[in-house]
Amino acid sequence: MVKAMSKNFVQNWRWLLVLCLLMAYPLAASAEKINWVDEHYDFTRVKKAIVYDVVVVDKSEIDNDLIEAVMLEEYLKTAARPPYKMIRADKTVAISPGSPLEGADIYVMAEMLKWHNDSYVIDAYTSWETRTSTRKVKWSDGTWHEERYNYTVPVYHPARTVPTSTVRVRFDVYDAKTGKKVMSRDELRKRDSSDHGQQGIFGRISKKFFDDLGDKIKNE
């Protein structure tokens, strides 16, 4: 009976420890995404796509022109992932001077709406953690044996500052012949424990969008 009570006690403390950790450490990343697709549009006929440079709306925290240049370079590499022939927007006039959109099936535009670095403070707290040790116990036959057992100890965690990076991007896809919008996405991602990590987040947002666009072109 004593062993059963001890086992239940340890299990209860383990659950309490898990709850404390969940409260103390929020999710490392979060995302908000609004997605819209014209379900009647035939994406499988898309063979050529004009991709415009990203319009950087929020430049308040971009203090280096190299950041924007690298971001655009990586964006264009990602935009070439779908199974279409990608045409740079600045090349369309040379291809079709009278009507720049004439040589494509769709065109893609993107806006970088938020590029933000911030932080928040996690207050100091104490949690209970499980430790394991060994001890000698005497059995009823008089012999001594070593057994392992668990016990809990209080652990103090000092206050700490958690850096965060936030990026929000909007993508719009249009039919080149009609100018009608056929696909849109507005996505915001925030990552904890990330100091000035916006470039990586922007890359992941862009990759996900163009991979999804590519899947529609292949699978529709």
- For residue 28, the model assigns a pLDDT of 64
Query: Between 116 and 97, where is the model more confident?
Result: 116
Q: 10 with 150: CB under 8 angstroms?
A: yes
Q: Give the bridge partners for 159, in sequence order.
A: none
Residue 176: name the closest of 64, 70, 55, 89 by CA: 89
- For residue 18, the model assigns a pLDDT of 41
* Domains of the chain and any CATH numbers: 27-122+160-219 (3.40.50.10610)
Q: Give the bridge partners for 101, in sequence order.
A: none
DSSP state of 158: -
The whole-chain average pLDDT of the chain stands at 85
The C-alpha atoms of residue 215 and residue 51 are separated, in whole angstroms, by 17
Q: Is the pTM higher than 0.75?
A: no
The C-alpha atoms of residue 9 and residue 56 are separated, in whole angstroms, by 56
Q: What is the pLDDT of residues 99-136, one digit of tens each?
A: 667 779 999 999 999 999 999 999 999 999 999 999 99
